[in-house]
Amino acid sequence: MLGLLVHQCGLILGVLQGIMAVLFWVKSPAFIEDLSIPEEAHHDAGHFIDALDKSYKTIAQNCGIAAGMYVITLIISGWQVMVNKRS
């Protein structure tokens, strides 16, 4: 029973992380408050845009890595559910 719950939780979290990774990759303005932009970048428009792009890219990569980790957890928990159902 617990394996099935972990499986479902991993599925939901993996899907949500994948959606967030895509939204950060396309630079969704909904996540503008979640970006990490240095204070000195606020004084120059070009530097601000570069810092904005770098922050979007970094967070998108982190969300993609997290989604991959959830997918691996999902595969392992699904395998465990199959093994437990056989015995």
> According to the model, what pLDDT value does residue 53 have?
93
pLDDT in tens, 41-85: 888 899 999 999 999 999 999 988 988 888 888 788 778 878 888
Between 11 and 44, the more confident residue is: 44
Distance CA 4, CA 85 (A): 11
* DSSP-derived 3-state class of residue 44: coil
From the CB of residue 24, how many other CB atoms can be counted at a distance below 10 Å?
Answer: 23
Between 23 and 8, the more confident residue is: 23
pLDDT in tens, 21-51: 899 999 998 888 888 888 888 888 999 999 9
Distance CA 84, CA 87 (A): 5
